[in-house]
A and B are shown apart, each in its own frame.
Chain A
Amino acid sequence: MNKNLRYLTGPFSKENPVIVQILGICSALAVTVQLKPAVVMALSVAVVTGFSSLIMSVLRKGVPSRIRIIVQLVVIATMVILVDQFLKAFVYDVSKQLSVYVGLIITNCIVMGRVEAFALANKPWASFLDGVGNGFGYGIILVITAFVRELTGSGTLYGYRIIPESWYEHGYANNGLMLFPPMALIIVGCIIWAHRSWNKELQEK
């Protein structure tokens, strides 16, 4: 159990898919303008990675390795479509905001990477935890980035106004640069900087 727990929590920090393995950067830049889509995206990715890993782990002995990629794609695509339909049914406005990026979870390197690297060689429960852990590891970075971008770029958090109107009257202005994807890249870079200063063993020689 202890070992299984490590599969879940490892990707939160030292094996983080975004800031250590540098995977899934594109969507991290695209959906982090505001906090709400980022949270929804993080949950969606966690669900997709978790269940794709679970299903592929169950199927791992029956699938010939020559056709495993196409089988993985079918499984992942199914999960993505399910999530997409779910979002459209229950949180339509967020789904519209995320637009193609939900569908593009299928191309997120984290999903296929975990299935290939982990689920095909491990038992279902461990694979599921690993998938969910990586999804949340990705989500943590998304939420931190979106927090900074929404607060400084729009003055709101999760749609609620945080910076009071009176500040604007005194000359405060929203930072428009934060709404551009390049700034998200710089924020992710700063997170990596802080993270590696903290975990010295991760620093490249």
Chain B
Amino acid sequence: MDKLRNIVDKIKPTFSKGGRFGWLSQSFDAFETFLFVPNTTTKHGAHIRDCIDMKRTISIVIMALVPALLFGVYNTGVQVGLTGWAAWWCGIKEIVPMIVVSYVVGLGIEFAAAQIRGHEVNEGFLATGLLIPMVMPVGTPLWMIALGTAFAVIFGKEVFGGTGMNVFNPALLARAFVFFAYTPMISGEKVWFASDAVSGATALEQLAQTGAMQYSTWDAFLGFIPGCVGETSKLAILLGAVVLLFTGVASWRTMLMVFVGGLSMGYLFEGVGVTAYPAWEHLLVGGFAFGAVFMATDPVTAAQTDVGKYIVGFLTGALAVMIRVVNPAYPEGMMLAILFMNALAPLVDYCVVQRNVSRRMKLARK
């Protein structure tokens, strides 16, 4: 470790202001802080109000994603009929390129943008770059992932001013781009299996079409069903949720209320007689659980006030189930629900704050 520190210290002047590669100082800084925890932590953070700096926060998110990712790798092989090491190898061959493409494209743009503006490179993309391949089905062509990532980073993030300023969740924006641009591949009706050109109906599509899925509840919970890389195993997502909640990185209010919202909407449809399957199956299929745990709780795009978190969380879940059941075009609704509520979250926050202000004004007048 000391050796590495020495090397970094030795080349630092070259990359600092006035040095030969002074114009690369932002990129250098990013690598240095990636290797070593800086002595200074964020004082007025963009959005995270905590004593740890953003790099550690992002590391925790990545740790929480690991179980779902590992299971996704294994499941990729299982879905084409492999077991054991063969399944792992098949998954690695499919998913590692997706992750590499997402990171290379996204970080490339982030470094370029930071360099042009003279900002520090932000760590936000480290989580986003891992989330992007996890919300895509296996076998999505790599150039589509590259395009989606580029779109999300440029129009979802850099245009608004970088990490912490974005209105929409960048990973979901990448998915939304691919979703609308190349709908047949990703709309939730069918997914590609790793052996190319074979596609099958997802559990969601089976629910939407026939009112029952062919997979057992236990399989859906453990994740042995086709779907996007990260979304299939509810058990692995649950592990991630425990990490996020235990460390306090994600808000339990949002997470809880997404599930409450989804369930109440599901039971409403079941009670009225629109859907024949039990409402809790909504939580087991598709991206509902993944979105609730990793996407809706994104501290940048979610509501900031506590009451706002309850409202936005509830509406996200309710909307997701509503899109699934009522909209005939897409069997999946979680992505659209979260993006829509991302747009509404500032408004909800504003109303909550204003209500508080007027209540206290009334007290003051008394």
Contacts and interface: CB of A to CB of B under 8 A. Distances in A.
A186 B155 contact: yes
Interface in B154-171: 155
Interface string B131-143: 0000000000100
Interface residues of B, number: 9
A180 B155 contact: no
Interface string A148-187: 0000000000000000000000010101111010000010
A186 B173 CA distance: 14
B141 A178 contact: no
**Interface residue tally on A, bucketed by range:** under 10
Question: Which of A171, A175, A177, A186 is packed against the most chain B CB atoms within 10 Å?
Answer: A177
B180 A177 contact: yes
Contacts of B155: 186
B145 to A, nearest CB: 13
A171 B141 contact: yes
B141 A177 contact: no
Interface in B174-229: 177, 180-183, 185
A90 B361 CA distance: 68
Contacts of A171: 141
A176 B182 CA distance: 6
B316 to A, nearest CB: 21
Nearest to A152: B181
B181 A175 contact: yes
Contacts of B182: 173, 175-176
Contacts of A186: 155
A180 B180 contact: yes
A197 to B, nearest CB: 11
A178 B181 CA distance: 7
A186 B181 CA distance: 14
A177 B155 CA distance: 14
A146 to B, nearest CB: 18
B1 to A, nearest CB: 44
B153 to A, nearest CB: 14
Contacts of A177: 177, 180-181
A175 B141 CA distance: 13
Nearest to B144: A173
A178 B182 CA distance: 10
Contacts of A176: 180-183
A204 B90 CA distance: 53
Contacts of A178: 181
A104 B181 CA distance: 29
A173 B148 CA distance: 14
Contacts of A180: 180
Contacts of B177: 177
8 contacts: A171-B141, A173-B144, A173-B185, A175-B182, A176-B180, A176-B182, A178-B181, A180-B180
Query: What 8 pairs across the A-B complex have the smallest Cβ distances?
Result: A177-B181, A177-B180, A175-B181, A176-B181, A173-B182, A171-B141, A176-B183, A176-B180
Given A173-B185, A180-B180, A186-B155, 13 more contacts: A171-B141, A173-B144, A173-B182, A175-B181, A175-B182, A176-B180, A176-B181, A176-B182, A176-B183, A177-B177, A177-B180, A177-B181, A178-B181
